[in-house]
Amino acid sequence: MNKGVLAQATIRASEALDAVYRTFEMPAPSTIEGCPCCIDTRGTDVLLATPLREISGMALWRYVSGAFLTVGDEQDFRYLLPRILDVSVSDPANANNPEIVLGKLSLAGWDSWPPHEKAVIEMFVGAWFELALATDLAEADEGWIGWAAESVLCGAARAGVQLDRWLLRLAAPDVAPVLADIRDRFPREPSGFWEDVPWAFHAVRVFLDQGRA
């Protein structure tokens, strides 16, 4: 049953991703600026010379890891954002952690973007969270549960998104195994990225404690 749920969640994420591509469609920037001592190691020439949908996860990994720190600005981030999100769900083994990817939205100042752009990003994050839940549930059929849902949840918090609706979803009966696993691990083994959003970490702990025996 969980395999069917995973297939449905994959379709929903693909549809949400298509909306991101349409919304942020723009010409490639002429250049990507960065710290002179770091820019040569980021492979930015490949990012601009390769068609957007063909950029590999590893090529993006170097850019995303340094975005707004040693390389890049809002313009090139907006151009690359659809593909960054794309590889995050289609090739997670070669992508940055969801916590890092979504955390870059805060550095990009996405809270000041036009409402329709913010809406399409929020729609995608919701679909990504559903896909992460479905992935964790599918793994539960194999006898173990991953951390995909928690990673996206933490990433959403690092993007500045309030977690109420995500926690409400996590409390639904159909994802009970994922909730039980997170409850068992908190606060002993949470994602280390929660340290950057203590308000969210506290909210998750309060939510989880409400259901403890």
pLDDT in tens, 148-200: 999 999 999 999 998 999 999 999 999 999 999 999 888 788 888 999 999 99
151 Cβ neighbours under 8 A, 6+ residues apart = 97, 98, 99, 132, 191
pTM (2 d.p.): 0.93
pLDDT of residue 106: 96
- Please answer whether residues 19 and 121 qualify as being in contact, where contact means their C-beta atoms are separated by less than 8 angstroms: no
> Distances in Å between the alpha carbon of 22 and those of 93, 121, 164?
25, 12, 28
Distance in angstroms between the alpha carbons of the first and the last residue of the chain:
29
pLDDT of residue 166: 93
Q: Which residues of the chain register pLDDT less than 70?
A: 1-2, 36-43, 211-213
- Among 69, 87, 106, 70, CA closest to 20: 87
3-class DSSP assignment, residue 37: coil
pLDDT of residue 40: 62
Question: ∠ CA(20), CA(88), CA(1), 5° rounding?
Answer: 95
